[in-house]
Amino acid sequence: MLDLALRSAAVVVLVVLVITAILYLNQRGVLYVRSGGAPGEPPPGVEAVEITTDDDLRLDAWFVPAAKTQTDPEPGPAVLVCNGNAGQRAHRLPLARALAELGYHVLLFDYRGYAGHPGSPSEEGLRADARAAARALAERPEVDPGRVAYFGESLGASVCGGLAAELPPVALILRSPFPSTVEIARHHYPFLPVFEPLIWDRYPLAHQLAESVRSPVLVLVGERDEVVPLDLSRRVYDAAAEPKRWAQVAASHHNDESLLAGGEMMAEMADFLRQWLR
């Protein structure tokens, strides 16, 4: 009986080690979820632009002008949108248009390895992509570089944290953020040994907010988010310096429309952006 128990335990340990090894070798394939090809031509009123990263990758982006620019020739405030996983910039167009109606210019872009772009995603690579996008947005004649906010969704919130530590925005909006890759991995794989030294792309968002980022922060969450639970996003909020703001969107899952450009979410964003960008 003892021998059977030992053999069973050995099998369980072996299975865990095999799964851990597979996930370790394919961790970027698990972390970076890429679906859908290039979005094609932009719709009317949206300008296609190209941005170039520090390592000479050319990435496609869309510039959505503020709806009120015709009556206001002066450079105005703008928002850089850092996507979450899956999809591409066309899927964030409803958010960009909602922000444009509020009077903000918006830049949507796709990371390396996403939406038909060359390159392979990594923490350093996605930060380089966001850095290039932020510079391209700030250099546009329609944009006041002193009134630029960053919006990051899930993985994009982590990208924003690293970017904000380098190029501080006037305000920072983090939708469904998680403290680090290590913490989100431990949540989704509680039966596996997740050790920080084994993680290639750590995205230490909570640490960056505590140590390096001093921009005003709005943390937006969905009450029923099953991908990034509220307690993980709350740890991001707790790490941020004041001024900061916490907002929950009622009965929302991670990918609900209400967390794309829903009325409750946009009302929170409008009030926050009005406070810091106007």
**Per-residue DSSP letters for 85-104?**
SSS-GGGGHHHHHHHHHTT-
* Low-confidence winner among 34-48, 119-133, 172-186 (lowest mean pLDDT): 34-48
Confidence band of 258 (pLDDT split at 50, 70, 90): very high
CA 172 to chain centre: 11
**Is pLDDT at 24 greater than 70 in this prediction?**
no
pLDDT at 182 over 80: yes
So what's the pLDDT on residue 10? 56
Say yes or no to pLDDT of 2 above 70.
no
Residues 6+ apart with CB under 8 A from 219: 174, 177, 233, 236, 237, 240, 244, 245, 246, 247
Average pLDDT, the chain: 91
CA angle (83, 85, 91) in 5-degree steps: 55
Higher per-residue pLDDT: 53 or 35: 53
What contacts 4, CB < 8 A, 6 or more positions away? none
Q: What is the pLDDT of residue 5?
A: 61
Which pLDDT score is estimated for 233?
A: 98
Coil, helix or strand for 189? coil
Which of 11-20, 52-61, 191-200 reaches the highest mean pLDDT?
52-61
Name beta bridge partners: 173.
Answer: 151, 218
pLDDT band at residue 71 using 50, 70 and 90 as cut-offs = low
DSSP per-residue string spanning 5-64: HHHHHHHHHHHHHHHHHHHHHTHHHHH----S----SPPTT-EEEEEE-TT--EEEEEEE
pLDDT at 271 over 60: yes
pLDDT tens, 88-109? 999 999 999 999 999 999 999 9
Give the model's pLDDT for residue 38: 84
